[in-house]
Every structure is written in C-alpha cells, then in structure tokens.
Amino acid sequence: MDIARDPTVTADDTQIADAAPMPQHPQEIRREDYHPPEWLVPQVALDFALDLDATRVVTRLTVQRNPEGGGDKAIRLNGDGIAALAVTVDGNATNDWQMDGPDLLITLPGEAHEIVVETQINPAANSQLMGLYASNGMLCTQCEAEGFRRIAFFPDRPDVLSTYSVRMTGDKARFPVLLSNGNCTDSGDNADGTHWAEWHDPWPKPSYLFALVAGDLAADRDTFTTMSGREVQLAIWVRAPKGGGGDLDRTGHAMRSLKKSMKWDEEVFGREYDLDLFNIVAVSDFNMGAMENKGLNVFNTRYVLADPETATDGDYDAVEGVIAHEYFHNWSGNRVTCRDWFQLSLKEGLTVLRDQLFSQDMGSESVKRIEDVRILRSAQFPEDSGPLAHPIRPDSYREISNFYTSTVYNKGAEVIRMMRTMAGPEAFRKGTDLYFDRHDGEAATCEDFVKAMEDGAGLDLSRFRLWYSQAGTPRVEARLKHAGNEAVLHLKQTVPATPGQPEKQPMPIPLRLALFDRESGGHRGEQLIVLDKASDSFRFGGFATPPVLSLNRGFSAPVAIERQVAEDELVFLAAHDDDPFARYEAMQSLTVQYLTAAGGEAGATGSGAGREAIGTALEAILADSALDDLMRGELMMLPGETYLAEQLLVADPGAIHAAREGLKGWLGARLEQRLVALHERASAVPYGLDAAARGARKLKTQALVLLAAGVPEVAARLAAEQYRAADNMTDRQGALMVLAGLETPARAELLADFKARYEGNALVTDKWFSLQAGSLHPQALDHVRELAGHSDFTLANPNRVRSLYMAFAANPQAFHAASGEGYRMIADLILALDPINAQTAARFVPPLGRWRRIEPARSALMRAELERIAAAPNLSRDTAEQVGRSLG
Ligand code: TRP
Ligand code: ZN
C-alpha cells in the first residue's frame, strides 16, 4: 500500500522528505520558463488541531481553472515532507490522485472544484525552522519562500493569491494565545481543556505570507490612528513564563519604532495600513531577521527586544530598521507581491530602500548613508566579484533560499535609489504612487516596477534596465584634466565578467559631483551627470586653476571609482567637503591608497608621506569642533579588511591584516594624547538616546580601538574603566570588544563578569560568544574551538550558531589562519549543521567561496574544504548549490 494513502501513518513518517536523500542533481529553475498557474485558488480554509509533535491540518481549497493556463487536467499541489492522509474532491473521497515526488497531483474533471486534503506534521521535530515548528514551547510558522508546502499541499507559488480562513484548536494551558493573519472572528472554549480561535484575512495573499502562532505569550499593546482616522490595535507578543523573567519590559523601543514607521509611510509614501489589527511576535529560533506575514509579523527576538542594559545603540538602530522594513512590506510585498521568486528584489530592494530612507529621517541622514554603503561594500561587493555573483533579478536557481542575498536586498535598494536620484524625490513619489495603484492586489514583476517609474516619474529607463540583468560591480575610471579655463572629466566604465555573463553592456551611471576651488574651499553647486556610454567626457568652464573633484557624492551609484588622487586633494576633501559621505570617502580613499599601494604584498604599504597624510587628516577630524561625534566616529573607522581585499586581484589576508593593524597602531600611538582626551570628554556625557550621547559612546569605543593597537596598556586600562563604569550595553560591549583582543588580566575577568551578569539572557549570551569569536586576540581560533564545546552552545539555534561562527568567519586573522584550521572549522560546521538547518548551513559557504581571490597557499586549502563538503553524502539542496557554484 502506498504510504501516502495509509491513514495509520505515524507522525514521524510524515517528515519523510527531511530524511530522504536529495537527488544528486537537483533541478535548475529558470526565469524564462515562467508559466502562469494552471489553477487559481480564490479561497483557502485551514483547520489546525495543534499539538507539539502531531498537528493535524485539514486544508479546504476552492479551486478554479485559470483561463491563462494551458488547460492541464491535473492540479499540482506542492508538498515537502508531508503525506496526504485523506483526499476528497467536491465532497467525495477520490483515488484520482498521485504523488509526484513530494507533490500531490489531483486530476480534476471540471472548471471549479473544492478539494479537501488532510495532513499531519511534527513541529517539535522540525529543526529546519521552515513550515510549522516549535520554539520554546510555542508553535510558529515561517513560510517564505517555500515553507507553506511543509504544512499543507498547495500551489506554493507567489502568483496564487487566496483569501484565508483559519481555525485552530489547542490545549488552553499550553497555547493560551492563538494568532493568525487578519482579524480574529470568533473564539471559544471546549469542555476538554482545549480552546479554539477563528481568523479571517480579507486581503488575498500568496501562501508565503500565511502565519500562525500559538503559545504562552504576553502583549505590549498600543493603538495607532491612521491618516483616514481608523484606529489600529497594535500588539507585540513576547515570552511570558509563569515565574516571571519574560520580555515584556523590553518591547518599548520596538513599539515606538512601529508607530513611527506607520506615520512615516503615510507621510512619505502615502501608504496607509489596511487592517484593524497589527501583531508582531518575537521568536528566539528564527532563520532570518523577521518576516512580513500579513497582519502578523514574526520576528527574531534580536530585532524586537531592546533596553539600555542589554542592547547597544547599534541594536536599537537594527530594531528600528527591521520593524520598519517588515511594516513597509505591507505595501511593498503584500499588497503588491512578486509574480515569482526571480522578482524577489521587487519587494526586497524596494523595501530596503524604504527602510533606509526611514532611518535616514529618524536619525542622522549622513551617518545612515555611510553605514549602508559600508554594508554594501563589505557584503555585496565581494558577492558581486565572486563565484556566487548574480543579477538583482537572477536568471536561475536551484534553491531560492540561497538568493536572499545582499545583492537582491542591498544592491536592489541601490538600483531603485539611483532612479530616485535621477528623478528627484517628487517625481519618484509619483512613480511609486503609480506602481502601487496600478498593481495593487497583483503579483508583479521588476519590469512592472520599472515601467511604472517610467510612466509615473517621467524617466526613460530603457538602458537602465541593464542594472536588473547584469551582475558585477561596474568600475568607473575617472581622470580630471585642466587646460586653460576648463576642467574636463574623462570617464570610462567597465562591467566585469561574472559567472554565466562573460560580455557586458555599459549601463547608465548617475554621478553626483562638485568641483571645489582650493583657495576659497567652496564649490559652485553640485551637479548630476549620467555616464551612459562606455566612455565620455564632461566639460566644466570657468576654472582658472585646477579644481578639486568630489565624485559619486552621497554614493549616488553603486560602483567602484578608480582614480589616483593626490594625497593633498584627499586631505582637502576630508577636511572641507560639504557632502558628509564624500568627506568620509576621502578619508577611506586616503587609507585604501596607502594600504594597497604595494599591491597588498606582505607587510608593504605606501610611503611614509602617505601615512603622514592620514595622520594629519585624522588629527584634523579629531579636532574639528564643527563635527558631531556620530560623524566623527564614522570618520575614525578604517576601511575593513574585506573591502581592502576587494581592491586587489589576489589578496593575502595575512598581509592586509598586518598592514591595517600596523597603521592603526601608528595612528593610536601618534594621536594618543588626543584620543585619551576625547575618551575622557565623552565619558562625562550621561546616558541618553539623543545623537550627542550616542555620538559620545561611539567616540569612546573608536578611540579605544585605535589606542589598543598603538598603546595597548593605556587602552586596557581605559577599557576596563569604561566597562566597570558602564550603565549601558554600548559602553560595556565596546570596552569588552577591545579587551577581548588584548593580553591583559582584565580580559578573562571581565568576560566572566559579563557572562555571569547576563546569565539566562540569550541575546546577550550571543554577544559573549561573538565578542570572543570576532576578537583580535591571536588565539581567537582556539577560543572558538573551546566555545563550541561550551554548555550554552547549540547547533539548534541559528542566533547562537551565527554568534559563534559568523563572527569567526568574519574575523580575517582567525578565519584565514595560514594553517587552514579556520577553513576546516567552517567546513566541519557546515557538514554538522546541514542536516539540522540547511538554510543556515548554506550561509556559511560564501566565506570559503572566496578562494579564487586569495593567495595560492590559502586558496588551495579553501578549495580543498569545499571539495570535502561537495563529496559528503546527502547534502541539502541549499548547501549543494552553494558549494557547487563556489567550485564553479
Ligand atoms: N521576507 C523576509 C524579509 O526580508 C525575509 C525572510 C524571513 C526569509 N524569513 C525567511 C527568507 C526565511 C527566506 C527564508 O523581510
Ligand atoms: Zn524584506
């Protein structure tokens, strides 16, 4: 008898696909193969009998033949590790169905039918955290991208939109709170100690936006009145253990962020919320940051919980940004969703841009821009120049989870930001208005967005569309010539070859620029030029003497500018540029030029004069009383090692590390007096969330970072003082970060103090792991090996795994240990984690995938580890795809 039809099938047997070996060559899905769905599902009714290890699900689908389909007699209902316990069509049990691998195919004679399928799942055994799973005794779901098929058989693709009615029944003591999308329409108690609730979501949605949460939760409640005067009930749900110690006292910042987001989206994008209820649930076991399920956002606890004692200023910003991001998805993602997963950047690029603009408006616009560019350069640029490079709208994939990338998210946001730069904010708003209006309720494509921008904002984007199809970071060579009264800017662009894309076309590149007069220190106004050919020249008259060029101001295009600039010009811009980003950029370029002058050769750097120039510029920045401390803190940060490595064709990570640390040490020693004085000045500022107090905290830690490299005894003393005096996590973590990299008795003592002080707080325990795994300590690698055996370490929790191993993989000195031990450690982790949580395991492949750009000895070691992973049996589709592409 077919196991799928056997009603006696046990709960564990229903998770068959998790245990079954994956096919050796999982199929590639291609964008060009898109076909509209054969069947539409206007209505779904789900009935859950909740239980931690045996949840029964009855799915009732109202299906209709799609007039745009090909007339297929069978409906394909995707499944993943689930079995059909019973199937009826129009009320009658039927045998007209079969399994096709994980999917259920049902033959349907007519145009419209009602299908009922029953399944059973085991949430407690679901370690992948996709579908319905258990976390801390509660039940919750994660369906994007293809998790719904682990719960119920369904055409699990984003272009099938349905209205959902959900009924759930569960033990009232274990699951006192029962939540789903939309509004709660009814609820009640049963005589047997169970209770039930019914939810209805009036907005048609794809299955990836379905959510259900059941557990012992408490709510922080508030209300928001929308622009049209409707009152929305807001609730943030967190753990509420009976004996106390719950998280309710750490939701205030998230709630304030939510209300600000709702207001801002009305004011800036004209978008109003559309349900009477908005729920957020914080979950401690979560694969990503958060999820925008309609009316029921599910969040990683780290993006909800914050108070001064346990969260840094960075954490506060991250909570605000992610709360905004998920809320903004209600329009850019939910009301207008994606036709297929190749269009992912349609919702993610746009929503990242929206959350970036929001955060710019909430805090320091320039500091936010600098931070976003730093993320792009350290995460996306390496992706774009490596074996996993893909366009923001990919052409093919095997496992879509692998395409939730910095390219789709962050470069996707940059591409839309360029449209905004070219159109200006008002015309851009006309474009987004038209987009939302035209495609409301639809599953749209990136092309639909571009068209709406052309029609609404009045742009001609015909060539600009190349940004959607071409991977790789464009390089722009710039030369400024001066003759007579004229300055001439010669620009030449090349888009590098990437896997599968050997040949590239030139793309329109919008560049904001200004030409400074050296004497007066001013310029005659900023201009926007668009380089839309392979090369072009731009003439600027009226310059009796050669001006100083400030190019790609505000980082108006996500490109790499290649230009040899005289040190004195960079020093000038670092001191005088009125565009804060350009000022930061001048400081970065000065350092990049110096540190990569010798092509990254062991220990070699630029000239003594180059180093002097950096010292002089930094000294001026430290002394500039017109600068606020948040910005000063940015200007004090040296370019990261990944970004430095990006500048070189083949990098020696050891040499880059030594050169960068050498420069830090020289600066720290040379500027010791000033840095100590700044630290003292900033230490007198009392805790607050205002920009001045936050700036003071940033300054303190940045000062310690430089001092630690130059005068470690001084830094160790100041850091220990800062730690002991701290009344907030920013100061405490900053001090401990510096101490963790030093050989000083305070190191062990204060790490232990930190651990004990926050015993039982998972998010702070994550910090304790990260501080050690990411430290500059020469034995960091050994520390990581020991920490992996710590009783608080577990592979079952993604936050904990990342806190140890992502911090380690991002620690160049430790990860790139010449012995190859770091590579082996990450490969071992991938192999151990893959059967438990494939999505998270696959995210550790990219650091090893950099092998082609690393010096030969390390390169061979990295490659060997990738080959060892590739040879392992039963690799997940996620990991197999990433390793396969990395080996290329
Ligand atoms: N859509 C989510 C966001 O960016 C991303 C996300 C959350 C996700 N959980 C996921 C993607 C799980 C893939 C798998 O806001
Ligand atoms: Zn998103």
Q: What is the pLDDT of residue 603?
A: 57
Q: Which ligand places an atom closest to the C-alpha of 351?
A: 2
Q: What is the pLDDT of residue 241?
A: 85
Q: What is the pLDDT of residue 601?
A: 61
With a cut of 50, say whether residue 2 has pLDDT above it: no
With a cut of 80, say whether residue 1 has pLDDT above it: no
In a domain, 830, yes or no: no
- Segment 44-62 shows an average pLDDT of 98
> How far is residue 317's CA from residue 312's CA, in Å, rounded to a whole number?
9
CATH of the domain at 85: 2.60.40.1730
- Segment 161-179 shows an average pLDDT of 98
Q: What is the pLDDT of residue 244?
A: 82
Position of tokens 């770091």?
A: 822
Q: Which ligand places an atom closest to the C-alpha of 401?
A: 1
Q: 222 near 257, Cβ under 8 Å? A: no
With a cut of 70, say whether residue 33 has pLDDT above it: yes
Ligand 2 centroid distance, CA of 727 (Å): 34
Q: Which residues 6+ apart lie within 8 Å of 568 measured at CB?
A: 613
Q: Is the peptide bond before 145 cis (omega within 30 degrees of 0)?
A: yes
Ligand 2 centroid distance, CA of 140 (Å): 19
Q: How many CB atoms lie within 10 A of CB 656?
A: 25
Instruction: Give the single-character DSSP code of 792.
Output: T
Q: Among 128, 133, 287, which residue has the most ligand 1 atoms within 8 Å of its CB, making it the best to mutate?
A: 287
Q: Which residues 6+ apart lie within 8 Å of 192 measured at CB?
A: none
Position of tokens 């670092």?
A: 574
Q: Among 133, 141, 291, which residue has the most ligand 1 atoms within 8 Å of its CB, making it the best to mutate?
A: 291
Greatest C-alpha distance within the chain:
94
- Specify the residue with its C-alpha closest to ligand 1, atom 1: 291
In a domain, 210, yes or no: yes
pLDDT in tens, 674-717: 999 999 999 999 999 999 999 999 999 999 999 999 999 999 99
H/E segment holding residue 730 = helix 729-740
Task: Give me the residues paired with residue 166 across strands.
Answer: 46, 199
In a domain, 693, yes or no: no
In a domain, 574, yes or no: no
Mean per-residue pLDDT over the chain, rounded: 95
- Specify the residue with its C-alpha closest to ligand 1, atom 5: 291
Q: Which ligand places an atom closest to the C-alpha of 404?
A: 1
Q: Among 142, 144, 332, 405, which residue has the most ligand 1 atoms within 8 Å of its CB, making it the best to mutate?
A: 144
Ligand 2 centroid distance, CA of 280 (Å): 15
In a domain, 204, yes or no: yes
* 355 Cβ closer than 6 Å to some ligand 1 atom: no
Q: What is the pLDDT of residue 597?
A: 85
Closest ligand 1 atom, residue 290 Cα: 7
Cα–Cα distances (Å) from 772 to 347, 523, 647, 806, in that order, read 36, 47, 28, 12
Which of 22-31, 154-163, 608-617, 799-808 has the weakest average pLDDT?
Answer: 22-31
Q: 364 near 373, Cβ under 8 Å? A: no
Q: Among 288, 292, 329, 345, which residue has the most ligand 1 atoms within 8 Å of its CB, making it the best to mutate?
A: 288
Q: How confident is the model at residue 291 (pLDDT cuts 50, 70, 90)?
A: very high
- How many Å separate Cα 492 from the centre of its chain? 32
Ligand 2 centroid distance, CA of 130 (Å): 16
Structure tokens at 723: 């730690």
Q: What is the pLDDT of residue 364?
A: 97
* 371 Cβ closer than 6 Å to some ligand 1 atom: no
Structural domain count, the chain = 1
* 404 Cβ closer than 6 Å to some ligand 1 atom: yes
Amino acid at 289: G
Give DSSP secondary structure letters for 314-371.
HHHHHHHHHHHHHHHTTTBTTTBEESSGGGHHHHHHHHHHHHHHHHHHHS-HHHHHHH
In a domain, 67, yes or no: yes
In a domain, 75, yes or no: yes
pLDDT in tens, 176-223: 999 999 999 999 999 999 999 999 999 999 999 999 999 999 999 999
pLDDT in tens, 378-430: 999 999 999 999 999 999 999 999 999 999 999 999 999 999 999 999 999 99
H/E segment holding residue 76 = strand 74-77
* 316 Cβ closer than 6 Å to some ligand 1 atom: no
Which of 370-379, 602-611, 743-752 has the weakest average pLDDT?
Answer: 602-611
Closest ligand 1 atom, residue 322 Cα: 15
Instruction: For the chain, give the number of residues.
Output: 888
Ligand 1 centroid distance, CA of 194 (Å): 32
Q: Is 326 a catalytic residue?
A: yes
Taking the CA atoms of residue 344, residue 346, residue 349 and residue 352 in that order, the dihedral angle to the nearest 10 degrees is -100
pLDDT in tens, 490-508: 999 999 999 999 999 999 9
Report phi then psi at 644, rounded to 5: -65, -40
Ligand 1 centroid distance, CA of 468 (Å): 21
Ligand 1 centroid distance, CA of 144 (Å): 6
Report phi then psi at 222, rounded to 5: -160, 180
* 561 Cβ closer than 6 Å to some ligand 1 atom: no
Structure tokens at 342: 């190749």
* 142 Cβ closer than 6 Å to some ligand 1 atom: yes
With a cut of 50, say whether residue 781 has pLDDT above it: yes
* 326 Cβ closer than 6 Å to some ligand 1 atom: yes
* 348 Cβ closer than 6 Å to some ligand 1 atom: yes
Amino acid at 361: D
Q: Domain containing 205: what range?
A: 38-215
In a domain, 237, yes or no: no
Ligand 1 centroid distance, CA of 735 (Å): 33
Structure tokens at 887: 């080996």
Q: What is the pLDDT of residue 8?
A: 34
With a cut of 60, say whether residue 22 has pLDDT above it: no
> How far is residue 790's CA from residue 774's CA, in Å, rounded to a whole number?
17
pLDDT in tens, 38-47: 999 999 999 9
Closest ligand 1 atom, residue 289 Cα: 7
Report phi then psi at 293, rounded to 5: -45, 140
Determine which one of 144, 198, 292, 326 is catalytic: 326
With a cut of 80, say whether residue 732 has pLDDT above it: yes
With a cut of 70, say whether residue 10 has pLDDT above it: no
* 288 Cβ closer than 6 Å to some ligand 1 atom: yes
pLDDT in tens, 749-768: 999 999 999 999 999 999 99
